Amino acid sequence: MKPGNFLEVRDRLLVNAKREVLRHMVYRGGVAVSGAPEGFGVFRLNEEVRTPGEILAHIGDLLQGSIHLLKGELVHLTSSPLQWDEEVSRFFSLARRLDSFLASDAPLACPVEKLIQGPVGDALTHVGQLVMLRRLAGSPDRAESYFTAEIIPGVFKE
């Protein structure tokens, strides 16, 4: 194998590994939103804290923005929250679209690290907020050990 070919293969394997890690990160949000009680989307801790619906709308914008970034487009989205069930459906739809893009052979227009330090990292922070708000609203999400859980990229538990 020529040295140039080795480097190309190595780089392709490294990018594919990074894509897989990012696919695992996207899975995490599904646990926080599944099975939330009636009215959770409008639960308000106080006037200065966003509602879960507002947070989830922002997470959806971050996922949608990530898809655009992977295609080389920078967009700024500020969606108004939908009804909770619709917002949860939007979340899963966008998570699947992002996962499908990452699972494809489509070239990435931005480094995975930039997504992790940017929109995906931001989304994970907001997932933590949703988990905390569920506890405060009296409906903690289901317990799951992410270390031992079998997480299959592309398979989301709704």
Give every residue of the chain whose pLDDT is below 50, as ranges: 10
In a domain, 27, yes or no: yes
In a domain, 10, yes or no: yes
pLDDT score, position 125:
94
88 domain residue, yes or no: yes
Residue 154 has a pLDDT of 63
CATH number of the domain enclosing 23: 1.20.120
Cα gap 28→89, rounded to integer Å: 15
Task: Classify residue 150: in a domain, yes or no.
Answer: no
Could you read off the pLDDT of 51-94 as tens digits, one per residue?
999 999 999 999 999 999 999 999 999 999 999 999 999 999 99
Total domain count for the chain?
1
Q: Is residue 154 part of a domain?
A: no
Distance between CA atoms of residues 120 and 140, nearest Å: 23
Task: Give me the pLDDT at residue 6, please.
Answer: 53
Report yes or no on 157 lying in a domain.
no
Residue 152 CA to residue 68 CA, distance in Å, equals 24
**pLDDT at residue number 10:** 45
**Domain coverage including residue 15:** 3-136
Cβ neighbours for 100, distance < 8 A, ≥ 6 positions apart? 154
Cα–Cα distance measured from residue 25 to residue 11, given in angstroms and rounded to the nearest whole number? 21
- List the one residue out of 86, 87, 115 whose CA is nearest residue 26: 115
Residue 21 lies in a domain: yes
Tell me, yes or no, whether 143 lies in a domain: no
